[in-house]
Structure 1
Amino acid sequence: IQIESVIGDMAYSEKKNIEAAKEGDYELIAKLNPIITQGNRRKEDEFEFNKDAGMYQCKAGHLAIHKYFDKRKKDKKNKNPRMVYFFDIEKCKCCPYRDGCYKEGAKKKTYTETIICDSHSEQVKFQETEHFKEKMRERYKIEAKNSELKHRHGYDVASSSGLICMEMQGAMTIFAVNLKRIIKLMNEK
């Protein structure tokens, strides 16, 4: 079978799948997790990037005093690297916005930004194209069909053990659903 595209939800947009799609010469129609595209910023108004200084600043206007590139440990091999920005703790202690930002007795105040990899950057650009958006509009049909297979035809639980039995159950379930569709289309004529 020649695969042209694979359509899935956010669970399929992990880095391994994006790279596999590139190597397999097919397109992956799956939105990236918003944490990757927008970052993990829950409080967007508290920290802003100052392009001139190349540092983040808090809402009180205090710039980070230095930054550190964290490549991530070997045990977290699939994690993207991060840039950690350190703020002057003495300024944080007397800041009017310290409630909810500075914890009393803390030894440091940091803000972390995840740096997205090249494959994620390419996927971000791809998911902004009209082709991607058009394909994603078709995705609800796939989910509806999967739901019908699982809930109406018992494909949510294996009726027998073993891979061959599961393949047989899948083939029979899909055959039954397709047969229902053919009969419905014939009755409409």
Structure 2
Amino acid sequence: NLLIGKTVTIAIEKGIIKSKSIIVDATHTLSRSNPFSTIEVLRERSKLLRKAVYQFDEAFKSKMPSKNTDNDLTKELKYCKELEKAIENEPSISEIPSVKEKLNLLKELVEDTGEEMIFSKDTDAKTGHKSADSSFFGYKTHLAMSEERIITAAVVTSGEKGEGPELPKLLQMSRDNGMEIDTIIGDSAYSGKENLKIAKNQNIKVVARLNPSITPGFRKDEDRFDYNKDADRFVCPAGHLAIRKARGGTRNAGKNQVDTYYFDVEKCRVCPLKEGCYKDGAKSKTYSVSIKSELHQDQMAFQQSDYYKEKSKHRYKIEAKNSELKNVHGYQRATSYGIENMQMQGAMAIFAVNLKRILKLL
């Protein structure tokens, strides 16, 4: 914030920033560490355990259970339990300190495994989604930028976070850095009801296309499901993406249509956040959103205005800025582990692109 704020102050003092609009978007950065799935970690730990056993008793190979060759987590867990049992039945082997340590590590992982978890050296990175079918493992940087292409605010989060909820922070930070704002330009991820309400209270126009999926009305904060506009799916508080969606009701029939999002119940059953969200034994977990027929009439009318159409033409600028950060300043991949280091990398990259832009405009 200090580095970004300094460059914005210079740009305002030099008369470079004249617009009162901010363009908002998020760009993703891959983690420095490659993620490993549960099955890969189980295989690695069982391999280390077998290796430790063979160091003391090569003949024990004949007592080992058959390895699982399928890419099936249930079968892999079954094999690991059989392996544990075979070794525990031989106290002369299982009590050797180096074997015992690796046996306990495997047992601990088997007990903790109830879903397809991701393991990585980068504990802050999370899996985000670029579409319903493609994902990435890393971080998101949420950006606000003036029409003159000076970045005015940035927030770094883990990869699974939605974009819409970060807008109030970007707005406040841009103002704190000296920007006057009367218009926000973004994509449909930013046109949620809460954002429209905040903008209206502050007399700010929102140049972002309405999407019925992100205008669910009032929800309890703890029941916050984030909308991922790339995948067109909701993400639950635990970070899992809905596996499918279905629309119910009849259009223009006087009643609201409803979009229902379905989640993977296998993940819900073992989720640490399931209390109050998933009922044990339920065969499905859904999240429904009513599509209001009368709601957002003002915004719908605004979308037809010449001002909206003219301002929306500026949105491409932030895509070009994201590309510059990634392709020129190495922002496509994190250089270190952890969110604090990602923030430091973001600070340096954004400081550099802002100074370059100021020099070019001067």
Q: TM-score, normalised by structure 2?
A: 0.28
Structure with larger RCO (C-alpha < 8 A, sep 6+):
2
When normalised by structure 1's length, the TM-score is: 0.50
